[in-house]
Structure 1
Amino acid sequence: MSTMNMKRILAAGVAAVTMFSLAACGSTAADPNKGHVYFLNSKSEVVDQLQQLAQDYTDQTGVQVDIQTASSGSYEPTLTSELAKSEAPTMFTIAGYDEFAKYQKYLEPLQDTDVYKLLNDEGKTNSHKVGDDAYTLPYAAEWYGIIYNKKIVNEYAKKDYAVIKSDADIKDYDTLKKVVEDMNKHKDDLGIQAAMATPGLDSSPYRFVSHMTRLPLFYEFRDDNTTFTTDLKGTYLKNYKDLFDLEVKNSPTESSMLSSKTYDDITSEFALGDVAFYPNGVWAYTQIKDNNVADEDLGMLPYWMGIDGEDEYGPAGAYDASWAVNKNASDKDKQATLDFIKWMVSSDESKNALSKEMGFSVPFTTFGDDDQPDNPLTKLARSYADEGKKSVTSFPLPSQQWQDDLASALLNYVQGGGQWSDFESAFTNGWKKDWDNNKNVLGMLPESKAFDAQ
Structure 2
Amino acid sequence: MPIKKIPLIAGILALFLLLASACSNGSTNGTSKSNQIKKDKVVIDILQGKLEIADQLKALTDLYTKEHPNVTFNIETVGFGADMLGGLKAEFASGKPPDMFTSEGYQAAITWKDELEDLSDQPWVKDSYPGALKPMTIDGKVYGQPVNLEGYGFIYNKALFKRAGITELPKTFTELKTAAEKLRAAGITPFSVGYAEWWVLANHGLNVPFAYAQTESENFIPGLNSGKAKMEGNKYFDDYFKLLDLTIKYGNKNPLTTDYNTEVTQFAKGETAMIQQGNWIQPLLDKLTPNMDVGFIPMPLTDDPSQSDRLMVDVPSSWVIYKKAPEADKKAAKEFLNWMVSSSEGTTALTKDFKYIPAFKNIEAKAEDIGPLGNDILQYMKAGKTYSWQFMKYPDGASKDFATALQSYISGQITKEETEKSLDATWAKLKK
Q: TM-score, structure 1 length as denominator?
A: 0.71
Q: CA deviation at 1:433?
A: 1.2
Who is 2:173 aligned against? Answer: 173
Match among 225, 235, 239 for residue 218 of structure 2: 225
Match among 273, 287, 291 for residue 276 of structure 1: 273
Out of 174-183 and 140-149, give the one that drifted further.
174-183
Q: CA deviation at 1:368?
A: 0.9
Q: CA deviation at 1:252?
A: 3.9
Q: Secondary structure at the match of 1:276?
A: strand
How many residues are aligned here?
380
Q: What letter is aligned with 1:347? A: S
- Cα deviation digits, residues 148-196 of structure 1 (max 9, x gap): 1112212322xxxxxx5x144x233332222223433x2xxx232x222
Who is 1:242 aligned against? Answer: 242
Q: CA deviation at 1:314?
A: 3.5
Q: CA deviation at 1:244?
A: 0.6
Q: Secondary structure at the match of 2:346?
A: helix
* CA RMSD, 1 decimal: 3.7
Who is 1:152 aligned against? Answer: 160
- Cα deviation digits, residues 98-119 of structure 1 (max 9, x gap): 6533431132333454321111
> For residues 224 and 112 of structure 1, do their structure 2 counterparts lie closer, same or farther at Cα, with a shift above 3 Å needed?
farther
Q: Secondary structure at the match of 1:361?
A: coil
| Corresponding position: 1:50 with 2:61 | yes
Who is 1:323 aligned against? Answer: 319
Q: What letter is aligned with 2:62? A: Q
Q: What letter is aligned with 2:64? A: L
**Contact kept in structure 1, 2:171 and 2:298, CA below 8 Å:** no
Who is 1:211 aligned against? Answer: 204
Who is 1:418 aligned against? Answer: 414
The 2-side partners of 1:258 and 1:416 are apart by 13
**Contact kept in structure 2, 1:111 and 1:117, CA below 8 Å:** no
Q: Secondary structure at the match of 2:413?
A: coil
Match among 94, 115, 123 for residue 114 of structure 1: 123
Q: CA deviation at 1:272?
A: 2.6
Q: TM-score, structure 2 length as denominator?
A: 0.74
Who is 2:362 aligned against? Answer: 366
Q: CA deviation at 1:310?
A: 5.6
Alignment of 1:303-318 (within 5 A): 303-306=299-302, 311=307, 314-318=310-314
Q: CA deviation at 1:37?
A: 7.1
Q: What letter is aligned with 1:201? A: Y
> For residues 83 and 304 of structure 1, do their structure 2 counterparts lie closer, same or farther at Cα, with a shift above 3 Å needed?
same
Who is 1:4 aligned against? Answer: none
Q: CA deviation at 1:345?
A: 0.7
- Cα deviation digits, residues 213-240 of structure 1 (max 9, x gap): 1111122222232584224422211111
> For residues 319 and 373 of structure 1, do their structure 2 counterparts lie closer, same or farther at Cα, with a shift above 3 Å needed?
farther
Q: What letter is aligned with 1:420? A: K
- Cα deviation digits, residues 240-288 of structure 1 (max 9, x gap): 11111111222243xxx43243434433432232322221222333444
Out of 345-354 and 298-307, give the one that drifted further.
298-307
The 2-side partners of 1:274 and 1:332 are apart by 51
Q: What letter is aligned with 1:237? A: F
5+ residue gaps in structure 2? 1-31, 49-53
The 1-side partners of 2:127 and 2:42 are apart by 20
| Corresponding position: 1:104 with 2:116 | no
